[in-house]
Structure formats: C-alpha cells, structure tokens
Amino acid sequence: MIKIAHLIGGESASSADARIGPVFNPATGEQTAELELAGRATVENAIMRAEAAFAEWSARTPINRARIMFAYKELMQANMDELAVLVSREHGKTIADAKGSITRGIEIIEFACGIPQLLKGEFSSNVGTGVDSFNLRQPLGVCAGITPFNFPAMVPLWMYPVALACGNTFILKPSEKTPSCPLRMAELAHEAGVPKDVLQVVNGDKEAVDTLLQDDRVKAVSFVGSTPIAEYIYRTGTANNKRVQALGGAKNHMIVMPDADIPQVTDALIGSAFGSAGERCMAISVAVCVGEETANNVRDAVSQAASKLHVGPYTDNDSDFGPLSNQAHMTKVLSYIDTGVSEGADLVTDGRNLKLQGYEDGYFVGPCVFDNVTPDMTIYKEEIFGPVLGIVRSNSYADALSLVDEHELGNGAALFTNDGGVSRHFVEQSKIGMVGVNVPIPVPVAYHSFGGWKRSLFGDHHMHGPEGIRFYTKLKTATVAWPGGKQTGPEFSIPTLS
C-alpha cells in the first residue's frame, strides 16, 4: 500500500501521531494509498517555514521569478503523461480530459511568466512642483490554497504560479481524495528553482483548513469547492483578517433559441453536461429550451446521443467519460436522480445501474437526461455535480433569461442562437459571472479572470488573470518631493494640486 505524506521544506514529511485517510481508484473501488492527514502542528510548521522564506523570495527581481516560471512551464509539459495518469488514477477522468485540464493550468504558468510587465505600476510626473507620484504592487506574505478533488492539477495552478510570481510564499492544501498530482507538481516547481520553503503541500481535512484560516501569519486564502464550504472559508478567513477569494458551486444554464442549430446544440450539451462525468463547476446541467418544438428536438437529439456514449475507466482510450470520484458522491448523485423521478420529471435517459465487466465495484453512473424539469424541483435548484442534464421548457427568451437570473448560483451560462441582437442582450444583461454565446463552457483563458456572481463567489476578486495579480498583491502609492527643491516653509492646510 502506497503511503502519501506532505511536502514540507522540500522533503516528504510525516508525523508519528498522524491520522490516516484512504485514497481510492474510482474505476475499481479499490484503495490504492494511505494518506497522512495533517494536524495543527504539521500545518504550523509549514507556515513557519513559509514566513521565514518570504523576505528572500519577495526581494528577488520579478525577472528572476519569471525565469523560474519559464523553467517550471517546460518541466510541466515534459512530464505531462505522468501527471495525467496521476490525475486519472485518483479522480477517474479520461487521460485526454486530464491532459486538457493540465494544459489549461500550464497556460496560467505562461501568464505568470509575464510578471515583470504585470507588476508595472502607474507614474505621474510633477503632480506638484517638483513632486512625482507613483504606485507599486507588493506581495502579501504567506498565502494558502484549498483545492477540490475534480481538478487536482488545474485549480492549484490557478493559484500558486500567480502568487509565487508576485513574490508571495504559498501553502497548498489539496483535496484528500486526489493528492498525488499536486505533490508531484510541487516537486517539479522545486526542480525549476522555486525554493523549497516557498511552496509547500500539506494534506488534510478540516483541521488543516481551520489552522490555515486561523493563523495570523497566513495573509490570504484561495478556495474552490461547494457553496456551503466556500461561504465558511470566506466568513472564517475574513473574520481572521485575511484576504479571501472563495469560489463556490454552480448551476449552469444553456438557453436554446428556436433558431439555434440543433446538431451544434446537441454536441455542445453532450460534451458540457457529461464530460468529466459532470464533475465540473462549468458543466451545463440545465438546458432551457424556448418553445415546445425546440424542446422536443433537443430532447430527442440529446437523449439519442447520450445513449451512445461510452463510459469506462481511464485505461480505456475509447471512454468518453469515467466514473464519479468517490462512493459517497456516487450515492449522492443517484439519490438526486431518484428524487427527480419522484418529483415528476421525465427521465428519458437513465444511467443508473450501470455495471461494467471487470469494474463492478467502480463508481460509474451513465448519462441521465430529464425532460419537463421545473424550477421548484430539487434537481433544478441544487448542484448535482454528476452526469445529469435537465431540460426546462420556456415560452420566451425573456422567461428563459429570468430563470437564469433568478437562480442563486451565478457561475456560468450559455446562449445558443443565430440572432446577434439576442446575443448582445444576453451578454450585457444576464446576471452571471461567465457567459458564452454558442460556446457551451465559457471558461476564460489564462490572461482573463475566472469567477462567478451571486453565491458562486465569496470575495471581491476572481481568479488568475488581472484579478489574480490584484488579489495576491497590495497597492502602495508614493508621493515624492525629490531632494533639492525650494524650501517653502510649513504648510498647515491639506495639499492641493495648485
């Protein structure tokens, strides 16, 4: 049995009194590793080291840190195959899906390589006679990231490359369900030149999280996960005077207009609803079809396409998507499907009771498609986080947009249409943080920022891109009267530009 510990000070670190948690292969249901869960003392040791390393790291020139990011990018690309297997073995997603998520993470490292330009401030000459004013962006200190099981490579890379490039030190607390890839990525960062105390990984559960949230030496916390936990992270962190960005859950809608191309819509829904077994915060889980004919066409096309999907383990190159991440989550997803049936939705494609030969104990759920879903149903209101798509019927675009806007979660939404006027109205007026037009999963590229609205985001800053730079730095403004100016005597009124 593999034993997995922490990466503290560049070394695999264990403690004699550690609690142990299991790590499973979702395709087989077999335990593959024992994971050490950090207690308070272990986390505090990592914080102490990170705080001590901050002065030297933050004093380095931005170009020095950028060159390390360039080296890190090369190492990540060179080790792509190994990292993808680590992701797939513990999460269950296909190798192609794992590589795609790692690639999106590497793009954040590429963005961080531009840190000398990104940290440039603003300068105003002669704001007063012989007086200049300019600003600087300076690092915060020790930062922490708490990341989810579904993207063990991509989401950590949303956080620490930007934080490190800005001059901060960083402690990563990955999901205890998928710990191996984050540990390996940190080792590669050290190989690229990141000092060993500057980036550390502690594995753990609530005890480790609460230690990070309560310790005064931690200045900022980034989080991605469910909405209830995001709210807890935000409220606890800010109560302890920390800067917090906490991204929560999603219930992403796709509005399908009568003029939309149904084959294009079908492909988009199949990929966005069922890719990665629906375990994505940008998955489309609700199709809002405008008009009965539109709804009937979408239902028939999507249910037919869904029935042809190949569900299997990551070792099968023909798999369209794999199992759910863990047994408890599979049980939860199946209970949502049962609830949808009992509440009156029409289950036109039933993915329950899926058993694969040789993988009978795996956590597999096939694609499920519900029709005639209504806003009062549990499967509409709550995030399922599984391969479940609900079709809602709407009489008009205005009614469809109201459904999108009135949901408490505002992470992402899409519109499929050939009407430019409707498209522009949707982009400008929808109350959603990330929107797509004829794009089913509108995840921003690395040099833009990722984040939702409403109860999908707690805090003022989205992740990576320009917002990431703002989050991981504090603004300082300097007003300088250069030596040698004329002495004018004491001034008792507030300075002005005259």
The closest of 190, 120, 230 to 459, measured between CA atoms, is 230
* Dist CA 2 CA 379 (whole Å): 38
Closest of 476, 471, 445, 469 to residue 458, by C-alpha: 471
One-letter amino acid of 432? I
Instruction: Decide: residue 136, CB within 10 A, 0-12 exposed, 13-18 middle, 19+ buried.
Output: middle
Q: Which token pair is 174?
A: 């990955």
Nearest in space to 455 (alpha carbons), one of 147, 227, 238: 227
What contacts 104, CB < 8 A, 6 or more positions away?
Answer: 154, 157, 443, 446
In angstroms, rounded to a whole number, what is the distance separating the alpha carbons of residues 276 and 210? 30
Nearest CA to 287 out of 349, 216, 351, 205 is that of: 349
Residue 281 designated active-site: yes
Nearest to 464 by CA among 173, 46, 118, 187: 118
Rounded Cα distance between 172 and 146, Å, is 6
Of 143, 166, 281, 368, the catalytic one is 281
Residue among 397, 369, 373 at smallest CA distance from 256? 397
Q: 475 and 135 in contact (C-beta within 8 Å)? A: yes
Q: Going by C-beta distance under 8 Å and a sequence separation of 6 or more, which residues neighbour residue 392?
A: 286, 287, 288, 289, 373, 374, 375, 380, 403
The residues that are catalytic are: 281
